[in-house]
């Protein structure tokens, strides 16, 4: 007989759960704050997370806010951090950033002002976490990803390095680390990259579900609820 173990969602009742990042988080969310009616959470993984938390853990009344912004790097997050994070007073914060930090090195190689090297990326993320974590109940740092199974691919290789930087910051500050690249790697055993994201970056419904599941697994989501 199969015995199903029960997991416990670690996000507390009535928490404000704020997501911040780039276009993968943004996904067409409402402005200036992504919460409310009429698709305010956008069409990405944040919307999947909000829907599942509101359905399975409806009694917890977790408030989800999407503050992703397309095209952002970690330096863009720093510029709007007070307005889009601190001023919202979140209980839980989820950060996923880094794709554009790497991508601009690949598609705009001569425009160095658009690029964020690894050292600056890690230092800036560490500064933002140091500033914010003391006022949070929980912090989740999610690695950037590239939907490409070949690790020797130049952009995938660089992205893995930025993912390791996120892991180092998470370990330093005892935050929850979500390895989204590892989550995609499992699916890429049977899916061709273009079937998940035409550009290997902006995922379709399957791709956003991969990200949502990785996050929900990390915070103890259980289909049976609490």
pLDDT digits (tens, 9 = 90+) for 16-58: 999 999 999 999 999 999 999 999 999 999 999 999 999 999 9
How many structural domains are present in the chain? 1
Could you tell me if residue 74 is inside a domain?
A: yes
Is residue 2 pLDDT above 60, yes or no?
Answer: no
What is the rounded average pLDDT of the residues 63-91?
A: 98
Which of the following is catalytic: 23, 101, 143, 179? 23
23 is catalytic: yes
DSSP code string of the chain: ---PPP----SPTT-EEEEEESHHHHTT--SSSB-SSSSTT-SSHHHHHHHHHHHHTGGG--EEEE---TT--HHHHHHHHHHHTGGG--SEEEEE--HHHHHHHHH-TT-GGG---HHHHHHHHHHHHHHHGGG-SEEEEE------S-TTSHHHHHHHHHHHHHHHHHHHHT-EEE-HHHHHHHHTTTS-GGGT-TTSSS--HHHHHHHHHHHHHHTT--TT--
Catalytic residue among 13, 82, 87, 199: 199
Q: Which of 144, 141, 145 is nearest to 188 (CA)?
A: 145
Instruction: Confirm whether 129 is domain-assigned.
Output: yes
CATH assignment of the domain containing 54: 3.40.50.1110
Q: How confident is the model at residue 159 (pLDDT cuts 50, 70, 90)?
A: very high
Domain range for 211 is 16-218
Residue 200 in domain? yes
In a domain, 168, yes or no: yes
Distance CA 156, CA 39 (A): 32
Query: Is there a domain that residue 184 lies in?
Result: yes
Residue 202 is a catalytic residue:
yes
Q: Give the Cβ contact number of residue 4 at 10 Å.
A: 8
The pLDDT tens digits of the residues spanning 171-211 come to 999 999 999 999 999 999 999 999 999 999 999 999 999 99
Whether 9 is in a domain gets the answer no
**Inter-axis angle of helices 205-218 and 45-56, to 10 degrees?**
50
**199 belongs to the catalytic site:** yes
Q: Per the domain annotation, does 3 fall within a domain?
A: no
Residue 225 lies inside a defined structural domain of this protein: no
Q: Of the listed 88, 173, 202, 222, which one is catalytic?
A: 202
């Amino acid at each position: 007989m199969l015995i199903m173990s029960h997991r416990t969602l670690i996000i507390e009742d009535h928490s404000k759960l704020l997501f911040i990042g780039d276009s993968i988080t943004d996904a067409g969310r409402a402005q200036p704050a992504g919460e409310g009616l009429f698709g305010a959470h956008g069409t990405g993984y944040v919307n999947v997370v909000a829907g599942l938390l509101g359905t399975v853990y409806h009694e917890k009344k977790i408030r989800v806010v999407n503050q992703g912004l397309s095209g952002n790097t970690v330096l863009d997050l720093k510029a709007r951090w007070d307005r889009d994070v601190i001023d919202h007073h979140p209980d839980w914060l989820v950060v996923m950033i880094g794709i554009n930090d790497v991508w601009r090195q690949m598609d705009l190689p001569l425009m160095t002002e658009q690029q964020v090297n690894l050292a600056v990326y890690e230092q800036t993320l560490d500064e933002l976490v140091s500033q914010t974590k003391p006022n949070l109940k929980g912090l989740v740092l999610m690695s950037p990803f590239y939907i490409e199974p070949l690790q020797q691919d130049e952009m995938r290789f660089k992205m893995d390095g930025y993912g390791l930087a996120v892991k180092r910051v998470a370990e330093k500050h005892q935050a929850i680390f979500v390895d989204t690249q590892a989550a995609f790697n499992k699916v890429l055993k049977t899916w061709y990259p273009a079937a998940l994201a035409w550009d290997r970056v902006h995922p379709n419904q399957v791709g956003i579900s991969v990200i949502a599941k990785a996050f929900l697994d990390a915070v103890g989501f259980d289909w049976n609820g609490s």
